[in-house]
Amino acid sequence: MSEADVQAYVARREALRAALLDLDRHLDELSTETRPDGERFRVAVEQFVATVQHHVEDAEAPDGLLAQILDTAAWYASRVERLRSEHDELLADAGDLLDRAGTADDVRPLLAVARQLSRRVAEHRRRGTTLLVDATMLDLAAGD
């Protein structure tokens, strides 16, 4: 994995972090409203989901981070597979949340669902970062 690849991953990781913080900020503000603004909720979720989708597309591209890790450290295959499986689950749940947000008269019950999705994406992000650090440190130790 080149330094440019690592820097690109760091930039994408920061974009995902910013999306998490933005969604959480919207959820905090919406949760204080007697009747949360459904359109604002839908737009916040839509933007968050778009960032998650971009993350998944980049990570799972043929030359993406997960493929590069497998190329340089195939012994991490189970951890890569876990991340890929989480991508599928997160995207399915995000799509379901978007569908529900688009049809809900009252989004208050969906705030907790969105917050849980945000937590799961944050945990996924941490696992991906840990894997990257492990794979990168291994490469450095081997002199690659």
CB atoms within 10 A of CB 105: 6
CATH code (residue 39): 1.20.120
pLDDT tens-digit series, residues 65-118:
899 889 988 899 999 999 999 999 999 999 999 999 999 999 999 999 999 999
Region 10-38 average pLDDT: 94
Q: pLDDT grade, residue 1 (50/70/90)?
A: low
Q: What's the number of domains the chain is made of?
A: 1
Torsion sign across C-alpha atoms 122, 90, 81, 14: negative
Range of the domain at 95: 3-141
Q: What is the pTM of this model?
A: 0.88
Q: What is the CA radius of gyration of the chain?
A: 17
pLDDT for the residue 138: 61
pLDDT for the residue 9: 75
Helices 38-60 and 3-31: crossing angle in degrees, nearest 10, is 160
Q: Which residue has the higher pLDDT, 106 or 11?
A: 106
